[in-house]
Amino acid sequence: MLKLFFQYFIFPGLAFAAVVGLLAGWVDRKVTARLQWRVGPPWYQNFMDILKLTGKEVIVPEGARLVFMLSPYFGLVGAGLAAAMLGNSIISSAYGFTGDLFVFIYLLTMPALALILGASSSRNPLASVGASREMKLFMAYELPFLLAIVAMVIKTGSIQLTKIIYHQQVLSSNIISVSGALAFAVSLFCMQAKLGIVPFDASEAEQEIMAGVLIEYSGLLLALFKLCKAVMLYTVPLFLVVLFMGKDLSLAFLAVKYTALLVFIILVKNTGPRMRIDQAMRFFWRIPTVVAAAAVVLALLRM
């Protein structure tokens, strides 16, 4: 039991993912500040923000249900377990099981569902608008994201994370093919939406709906949601590295590949305006979905 706890919550689980995610968030804030001719925060700022929030009072809206209190825990546990599954798959093939990719995809949806449930139960009009936007965005990006994953499942012939990694190590990375390149391009934009980063942050949109889904959260509960976002910032890019660039997963190459995706996230965030929710839905249901479907067909044709 102690070994299982260590694997899933210490290394390479929740704690490790949270530390890396908070540091990645600092890189994002620092680069963004430099682009805006500001100094930016010190490296420990995100850690201090989380620590400070844990000491603040938790204010529960009048009429809010138990779901409001439990949603942050629900989202963080899902993100943490996904991070642990992915980390263990990279470290050793002994931790995988048949169909673990399905479980992993399900766990990745839990943070978005937690935001929707928590905001909906807060009885705040602006939070309800944010929840509605989050739900629509979830329905928009999830289909092309799943199609991109299906294309790689067809290409590798496995629904197990460790076997997908092994297939690439024996042959070549999935990205070195037409279907893999198309699926990877689609996944990049789905990653941006899954992380709730500009241009796909309409559910928070501080300038429009005052943080939207998070408007009623404070103290420890808000800290848990921010921690969940940090864990997702670690997990989702790393998953794309494993799925498409799994030829060499040594620590040095992992760091380089993860950093490259982090740079993409930061560049898109700082060069594009926020999309309206209707624009985001049209975008995902037209271009990425069509491209991902083409990737599935090409994967069937072994291209």
Range of the domain at 204: 2-300
Q: Give the ranges where 36-172 is alpha helix by DSSP (H).
A: 45-54, 66-91, 100-120, 125-156, 161-170
CA-CA distance, 194 to 187, in Å (whole number)? 10
**CB-based contact 121:64 (threshold 8 Å):** yes
pTM of the complete model beyond 0.95: no
Instruction: Judge if the upstream peptide bond of residue 111 is cis by omega within 30 degrees of 0.
Output: no
The band of 206, judged by pLDDT with boundaries at 50, 70 and 90, is confident
Closest C-alpha among 265, 153, 254, 257 to residue 199: 265
The band of 251, judged by pLDDT with boundaries at 50, 70 and 90, is confident
pLDDT digits (tens, 9 = 90+) for 106-163: 999 999 999 999 999 998 999 999 999 999 999 999 999 999 999 999 999 999 998 9
CA-CA distance, 208 to 192, in Å (whole number)? 20
pLDDT digits (tens, 9 = 90+) for 208-224: 888 889 999 999 999 99
The band of 247, judged by pLDDT with boundaries at 50, 70 and 90, is confident
Instruction: Judge if the upstream peptide bond of residue 12 is cis by omega within 30 degrees of 0.
Output: yes
Closest C-alpha among 96, 80, 78 to residue 88: 96
pLDDT at 3: 56
Collapsing DSSP states into helix, strand and coil, what is residue 16?
A: helix
Number of domain units in the chain: 1
Burial call 258-294: b when 16+ CB within 10 Å, e when fewer: beebbebbbebbeeeebbebeebbebbeeebbebbbb
pLDDT digits (tens, 9 = 90+) for 151-161: 999 999 999 99
